[in-house]
Amino acid sequence: MAANNDAPQPDPALLGILALLAADRAERNPEPQLATELVLDAAGLDHRLIADVVGKKPDAVRMKISRARTPAKKGKGKGK
The answer as to whether 57 is a domain residue is yes
Note whether residue 24 is domain-resident. no
CA 79 from chain center: how many Å? Answer: 35
Helical axes 12-28 vs 47-54, angle rounded to 10°: 60
pLDDT in tens, 16-73: 888 888 888 878 877 766 788 888 898 888 999 999 888 899 999 999 999 988 876 6
Could you tell me if residue 15 is inside a domain? Answer: no
In a domain, 65, yes or no: yes
Assigned domain for 46 exists: yes
| pTM metric for this prediction | 0.64
Under 8 Å between Cβ of 65 and 38: yes
Residue 28 lies in a domain: no
Work out how many domains the chain is built from and give that number.
1
Distance separating alpha carbons of residues 64 and 80, to the nearest angstrom: 31
Give yes or no for a contact between 27 and 65, defined as CB atoms under 8 angstroms apart: no
For 37, the domain range is 33-70
